[in-house]
Amino acid sequence: MTTPHSPTPRPSTADASADAQHGAVPAAFEAVPPLDGELCFDGAALEAASGDFGRMVRQAPAAVLKPGSADDVAVMVRYCRERGLKVAGRGQGHSTYGQAQVPAGLVVDLGSLDAVEIRDDTAVVQGGALWSTVVRASLPLGLTPPTFTDYLELSVGGTLSAGGLGGQIGHHGTQVDNVLELEVVTGEGELTTCSPTERPDLFRAVLGGLGQCAIITRATLALVPAPRSVRFYVLTFPSVAALTAREAELIKEGRFDYLIGQARLTPDGWIHFVEAASYDATAEDDARLTDGLGHTSAEVQDIAYFDFLNRIAPTMDLFKSIGEWQRPHPWYDSLLPASTVDEVVTETLAGLKPGSIGASAVILLYPILTAKCRTPLPVMPDEELVYLFSLLRTASPGADSAEEMVAANRAQYDATVAAGGTWYPIGSVPLTADDWVRHFGAFWPEFQEARHRYDPDGILTPGQRIF
Ligand SMILES: Cc1cc2nc3c(=O)[nH]c(=O)nc-3n(C[C@H](O)[C@H](O)[C@H](O)COP(=O)(O)OP(=O)(O)OC[C@H]3O[C@@H](n4cnc5c(N)ncnc54)[C@H](O)[C@@H]3O)c2cc1C
C-alpha cells in the first residue's frame, strides 16, 4: 500500500553554483559545488531565517540552503565544516529563543524536503514535512501516527529534535518513541541511516537531541489504525490537587485515548480542567468514562478525528488575526515529578497575574507515564508519573515585557530543578553550560560522546547553546 504525497513543486536548479544562488555571494560561499536545490543569500531568505516564533532573538545567517535532496545537506555540511562555518536545520522556526538560528552561518531550511510516503503501516517522511501533511496522507488509508503535538503545523524534524509531547502519551509515549528509522546528515557531512539496531548511539542522540549530532532528512514513523471519530470531554476540577490526582488515576487506568490538563486564569479566578478523548466512543460510553470523576462541570462533543487533532488551528488563526501570534512568546515548559507537582504548580499559579503571562497565554498541566517514554531524551524526572507544566506566555500589550518574562522563566527553572524537575527544552530560558550538563544528567556522558563522534568540530545547531 503506497500513497506518495508529492513534495512541494519547486524550480529545477541544475547548476546551483551559478543560476540558483540568490543575492550577492559572500566570499565564504564562493566555491560551493552544484546543488539539486537552492542556496540563497537574498535579503528575504536571510530575514526569514533570522527570527522565530519567540520574536526575541534575531541572528542573521550568511546563507540559507533550500535543499533539493538529502545529498545537498551532506554536501553543504561538509563544505561548511571545511571552512569552520556553523550550520543548523530549520523546520517551521516555531522554537522561541533562537534555537534554529545561526549567526553568520548556514541555515538549512528543510521546508523544501517535505515528501510523505505511506508504505504499509509506516510513513516515510522527509524532515521538513509537517505533521498535518503526514496525517492527511495516512488517513485515507485508515492509518495515523499514534501521537501528536497539539499543533500540527510543526515539522517532523523539528519536533523529533525536541521530543514531541502530546495527549496520547499515556498509551503511545512521545513522538520520538514512535520512530523506526532515521536518515540523517551528521556534523561530519555523512549521509547515513540509524535505528535501534543500526548505529543505535546516533539514533539515541538524535531523537530529542536538539540538532546537536545530525540533521534529520528523513524519518520512518510507525502508524496505527485511525479512529473515525472522537468523543471529546472537557471536565473541570476545583483545584490543582484535584486535577492532578484525577489525571494520575486516569492515565494509569488508560481510560481515555487522549488526556491533557490545563489551568486558566479567568476574572473569577483559576479554573482547572482536563481535555480527554475516547476514540470511536458514543454517548452510550459517557457513564463508563465520566461517572464518579468528581468534576464540577462537563462539556462533551463528537468530532471527526482529523478535526480533533487540528482543533487548536482556529485559535491560532484568531491569535494571528488579533496580533497575538506576532508578539514575543517567552515560553516555559517543565517536567515535574508527581511528588512535587502540586506544591510547585499551586505556588506558581498563586504568584501569577494576568500581566505575568499575557492575553493569549496557555497553561498546560498534563500527566506522563515515564515507562511509556522509551528513548533517553527528552530528559524526564526519575518518577513513574511526571507532569508537563507549561507557561506559554505572550508579551501582550500591557503585560510584562518579554525580558521580564524571560527572567521569570529563569526563576521558574530554578524552582523546577529544586523540585526534582527538568525542563522540556523548546522555550525561552537562559541556561549556562553547567545547567545543560545538569539537565542531561545521567545521559550527559553518552550525549557528549555522540557529539564528539558525529560532530567533532562542533558546527551543528549553535542556537541551542549547549556546547
Ligand atoms: C503553537 C505551538 C504549539 C506547540 N505544541 C507543542 C506540543 O503540543 N508538544 C510539543 O512537544 N511541542 C510543541 N511545540 C513546540 C515544538 O514542538 C518545538 O518548538 C519544535 O522544535 C518546533 O518545530 P519546528 O519545525 O518549528 O522547529 P524549528 O523551530 O525550526 O527548530 C527547532 C530546533 O530543532 C532543530 N531542527 C529543526 N529541524 C531539524 C532537523 N530536520 N534535523 C535536526 N534538527 C532540526 C533546529 O535547529 C532547532 O534547534 C509547539 C510550538 C508551537 C509554536
Looking at the chain, the whole-number percentage of residues with pLDDT higher than 70 is 96
Does 158 sit in the ligand 1 pocket, CB within 6 Å?
Answer: yes
pLDDT at 2: 36
| Any atom of ligand 1 within 6 Å of the Cβ of 461 | yes
Q: What pLDDT is stored for residue 23 in this prediction?
A: 81
Rounded CA-CA distance 145/131 in Å is 9
Rg of the chain's alpha carbons, rounded to an integer?
22
CB-based contact 93:51 (threshold 8 Å): yes
Q: Tell whether the model's pLDDT for residue 1 goes beyond 70.
A: no
What b/e string do you get for 413-442 counting C-beta neighbours within 10 Å, with b at 16 or more? bebbeebbbbbbbbbbbebeeebbeebbee
Q: Lowest-pLDDT range, 4-13, 19-28, 92-101, 351-360? A: 4-13
What pLDDT shows up at residue 194? 98
Looking only at the bridges linking them, the beta strands covering 179-186 and 191-194 are: antiparallel
Q: How confident is the model at residue 16 (pLDDT cuts 50, 70, 90)?
A: very low
- In this prediction, residue 8 carries a pLDDT of 44
Tell whether the model's pLDDT for residue 178 goes beyond 90: yes
**pLDDT exceeds cutoff 70 at 352:** yes
- Residue 197 has a pLDDT of 98
Question: Cα(207)–Cα(211) distance, rounded to whole angstroms?
Answer: 9
Please give the angle made by the CA atoms of 99, 152 and 180, to the nearest 5 degrees: 80
**CA of residue 55 to ligand 1 center, whole Å:** 15
pLDDT > 60? residue 120: yes
> Does 429 have pLDDT greater than 50?
yes
Q: Which atom of ligand 1 is nearest to the CA of 92?
A: 26
User: Per-residue pLDDT for 14 more than 70?
Assistant: no
Q: Cα(436)–Cα(186) distance, rounded to whole angstroms?
A: 21
CB crowding 166-204: b at 16 or more within 10 Å, else e: bbbbbbbbbbbbbbebbbbbbbbbebbebeeeebeebbb
Preceding peptide of 378 cis, ω within 30°: yes
Strand blocks (E) in 285-384: 297-304, 331-337, 362-369
Strands (E), 42-109: 63-66, 87-90, 106-109
Looking at residue 400, its pLDDT comes to 98
Residue 138 has pLDDT above 90, yes or no: yes
Q: How far is the CA of 191 from the centre of ligand 1 (A)?
A: 22
Q: How would you classify residue 161: left for phi > 0, otherwise alpha for psi between -120 and 50, otherwise beta? A: alpha
Residue nearest to ligand 1 atom 44, measured at CA: 211
Q: Which atom of ligand 1 is nearest to the CA of 99?
A: 49
Q: Is 460 strand, coil or helix? A: strand
Domains (range + CATH), the chain: 2-111 (3.30.43.10), 116-226 (3.30.465.10), 229-430 (3.40.462.10)
Instruction: Give every strand in the sheet of 229-237, ordered side by side.
Output: 297-304, 229-237, 269-279, 258-266, 362-369, 385-392, 331-337, 422-423
* The pLDDT value given to residue 200: 98
Do 184 and 217 meet the contact criterion of CB atoms below 8 Å apart? Answer: yes
**What is the structure's pLDDT at 11?**
39
Q: What was the pLDDT predicted at 22?
A: 73
Question: Does the pLDDT at position 358 exceed 80?
Answer: yes
Task: Please compute the mean of the pLDDT values over residues 397-411 and round it to a whole number.
Answer: 98
CB 358 within 8 A of CB 352: no
Mean pLDDT of 21-50: 94
Look at 10-24, 64-78, 218-232, 295-309 and tell me which has the smallest mean pLDDT. Answer: 10-24
Mean pLDDT of 453-466: 98
- Distance, in Å, from the CA atom of 201 to the CA atom of 155, rounded to the nearest integer, reads 23
C-alpha distance from residue 406 to each of 298, 328, 335 (Å): 35, 10, 18
Above pLDDT 90, what percent of the chain?
Answer: 95
Euclidean distance between CA atoms 5 and 22, whole angstroms: 28
What's the pLDDT score for residue 40? 97
- Taking the C-alpha atoms of residue 101 and residue 51, their distance in angstroms, rounded to an integer, is 7
- pLDDT value at position 3? 39
pLDDT at 21: 55
Pocket flag, ligand 1, residue 210 (CB < 6 Å): yes
Q: Is the pLDDT of residue 10 over 70?
A: no
CA–CA separation, 160 vs 69, rounded Å?
A: 20
What pLDDT, on a 0 to 100 scale, did the predictor assign at position 313?
Answer: 97
Q: Quick check: 162 pLDDT over 70? A: yes
Question: Which of 50, 96, 159 to probe ligand 1 with, by most ligand atoms within 8 A of CB?
Answer: 159
Q: Which three cell numbers stand for residue 126?
A: 522527509
Contacts of 228 (CB under 8 A, 6+ apart): 280, 304, 305
Q: What is the mean pLDDT of residues 273-288?
A: 98
Residue 155 beta carbon below 6 angstroms from any ligand 1 atom = yes
| pLDDT value of position 81 | 98
Q: Which numbered atom of ligand 1 lies nearest the CA of 160?
A: 21
| Number of separate helices (H) and strands (E) present in the chain | 15, 20
